[in-house]
Amino acid sequence: MAMNEQSLLRFITCGSVDDGKSTLIGRLLHDTGSLTDDQRGASGAIPDFAALLDGLEDERTQGITIDVAYRQFATPLRRFIVADCPGHEQYTRNMATGASTADLAVVLVDARKGLLPQTLRHTAIVAMFGVRRVVLAVNKMDAVGWSRDVFEGIVSDYCGRLKQLHAELTFEAIPLSGLTGDNVAEPSARMAWCSGSTLLRTLEDAEIMLPDTGSAFRMPVQWVNRLPDGRGYAGTVVAGTIKAGDSLRVEPAGTEAQVAHVFGLDREIESATQGDAITLVLDRELDVSRGDVLCSTDVPAPTSDQFSTHVLWMDSEPLLPGRSYTMQIGTRSVRAALTTLKHRLDVESGAHLSATQLRMNEIGSCEWHLDHPVAFEAFADNRELGGFILVDRHSNVTAGAGVIDFALRRSGNLHWQSLQVDRAARARIKGHRGRCIWLTGLSGAGKSTIADAVEAQLNLRGVHTYLLDGDNVRHGLNRDLGFTAADRVENIRRVAEVARLMVDAGLVVLVSFISPFRAEREMARELFAPGEFLEVFIDTPLSVAESRDSKGLYAKARAGQLPNFTGIDSPYEPPEHPELHLDAGGQSVAESTRAILDLLD
């Protein structure tokens, strides 16, 4: 085919450390004439391909950062963009980045070592992110004497592992040597027993298996412009076609309008199709903002606020049920809380194991609840509307990436019941509004003592109150919870929900909990209206708190008899912007009590 007609293939090279990815890519660049004369070196010399690629693009910074290196090359038949993904386990997130846009994956295996855990992890990740074709490149065949038995043993093992992983992949295996070039661009005379294609020919002939996104129009709104003809809604078409006169539906709002104009980059156009960046002007003003999805009225995009998903966790801090994150799906950002961790995947056996948390580089099946409904598609039907990332709400780092399997049916069966008596009516008969005073600090800081004194003073004033104390609640509502990180998150989630109901009832509720993690305290705050949640940090030095150890808890923790004890072997994260910061080491209980009452007044 002519150069301007050839198709573009995006592929990744992945696998374990030192399986030869950089050397193989260097050989491809060398054998396809994609290197300059200076990069080739002296005539007849074989370049040090790994060193050459490090020189082409600095992808290692003092041995700390290894990112995905994207490289381009071409043959008369095809153009290629290859993502050279690091094999190091701690940089699995970079490999996932490459897989998310790839059409094909070249999974390398060192013939001397066979399949390694990282080989299987990378295979599971490419399958999860929708890559359906894999080339198993059994590299370094020169190091095993070009053995057919070694090659066929690895291929047989890989077939079995794919079945265990339930990975819906088609793959072909190629024995090769990136160092010598055998079966890379030219057939190998030393492996005459191999009747298959070379790696380069396989890549040239690879059919790009695009997912069927359907014919129904879908466009996530990226931004809104003010145009002479009205408001313009800009975005990229991710499915279907659109033209002037077509009817559109805005999801999740459900409003409808007709298309008045379709604009391309610099002019008005008749129609647009999948992949086109456009701006739409509608025949009437609608409330449309970034993150909404414009879609066909005949086949509108589904909406939901609860999903079953698969997640690759990338953060050093584990993923815990009850903890909330920012989920970016399409062009929309929403708050999402993990409600259920159904299982995690053992990449070596393919088994689904029960789990209370996901650690870095683990894949799990998870259920999420969002604070707002979003328009979506299952990832298998549409990558753009079915894929998402999870962002830590405090550090703003990407903590995970995932794919939507389906919406949970229960999300469509739950509706808010309209009630005649609201919180304003409850507040009127009590003579005051409900509030939540959340006291946090180390064990022994004085939280319960201060909270008890505050409630006594409020009671004398005729204020309706209730005190939720950490120890007391664990005798009943939370008796089933321990002190692991996951249990602590659930402990706070339950108490926050109870406190929200009490505030809705018009009570001033005092919550006296260690609540060591900022993320959970922030989650609690977001359940309340502005001004209803007052965080009070009872700041006491560890030495002072430990000296007040009337329960003997610190002594047990120091002796190793009480694991996961806050301040000893489990961290406490002080509030960054509490409504009130009390120095409980230097203030009396009476002074602290007056400060909280003044805050309420």
Domains of the chain: 3-205 (3.40.50.300), 218-296 (2.40.30.10), 304-412 (2.40.30.10), 423-600 (3.40.50.300)
In this structure, the number of other CB atoms found within 10 A of the CB of residue 548 comes to 16
Tell me which long-range contacts 63-71 makes (C-beta under 8 A, separation of at least 24). Answer: 66/91, 66/94, 67/94, 68/94, 68/95, 68/97, 68/98, 71/25, 71/29
**The most confident of 39-43, 71-75, 209-213, 460-464, by mean pLDDT:** 460-464
Task: Report how far residue 73's alpha carbon sits from residue 95's, in angstroms, rounded to the nearest whole number.
Answer: 20
Q: Is the pLDDT of residue 212 over 70?
A: no
- The pTM for the full model equals 0.80
pLDDT for 513 equals 94
Hey, what are 249's tokens? 């539906």
Query: What letter would DSSP give residue 319?
Result: B
What band does 288 get if pLDDT is binned at 50, 70 and 90?
very high
Q: Given pLDDT bands bounded at 50, 70 and 90, which one contains residue 50?
A: low
Q: What is the mean pLDDT of residues 261-281?
A: 94
- For 49-63, 142-156, 173-187, 537-551, which range has the lowest pLDDT when averaged over its residues? 49-63
- What are the tokens at 158? 């890989």
User: How far is residue 552 from each of residues 304, 406, 490, 539, measured CA to CA in Å?
Assistant: 49, 49, 25, 20
Determine the pLDDT at residue 3: 41
Give me the mean pLDDT over the 391-406 stretch: 92
| pLDDT higher than threshold 60 for residue 186 | yes
Model pLDDT for residues 533-578, shown as the tens digit of each residue: 999 999 999 988 888 877 788 888 888 888 888 888 888 999 999 9
Percentage with pLDDT > 70 across the chain: 91
pLDDT band at 40 (very low <50, low <70, confident <90, very high): low
Of 515, 550, 570, 588, the catalytic one is 515
What is the SS3 assignment for 372? strand
d(CA 14, CA 95): 7
Mean pLDDT confidence for 38-48: 53
Structure tokens at 461: 């004033």
Q: What was the pLDDT predicted at 43?
A: 46
| Per-residue model confidence (pLDDT) at position 415 | 66
Instruction: State residue 246's pLDDT score.
Output: 96
Which is higher by pLDDT, 415 or 243? Answer: 243
Indicate the range of 34-43, 328-337, 415-424 predicted with least confidence: 34-43
Active site residue 515: yes
Residue range 494-501: mean pLDDT, rounded? 96
Q: Is a pLDDT exceeding 60 seen at residue 41?
A: no
End-to-end Cα spacing for the chain: 79
Triad 292, 297, 302: Cα angle to 5°: 55
pLDDT greater than 70 at residue 120: yes
What number is the average pLDDT over the span 106-129?
A: 95
Cis preceding linkage at 252, omega within 30:
yes
- Of 145-159, 170-184, 299-313, 422-436, least confident by mean pLDDT is 422-436
Question: Is residue 59 scored above 50 in pLDDT?
Answer: no
Please determine, for residue 481, whether its predicted confidence score (pLDDT) is greater than 50: yes
Give mean pLDDT, residues 411-431: 79
- How large is the average pLDDT for residues 149-176? 94
Mean pLDDT for all residues in the chain: 89
pLDDT in tens, 320-354: 988 889 999 989 999 999 999 999 999 999 999 99
Structure confidence at residue 414 (pLDDT)? 62
pLDDT > 80? residue 58: no
Q: What per-residue confidence (pLDDT) applies to 66?
A: 43
Model confidence at 1, pLDDT cuts 50, 70, 90, reads very low
Mean of pLDDT values over 230-243: 94
C-alpha count within 13 angstroms, C-beta hemisphere, residue 10:
15
What confidence score (pLDDT) does residue 94 get?
85
Nearest to 320 by CA among 480, 481, 489: 489
The predicted pLDDT at position 482 comes to 86
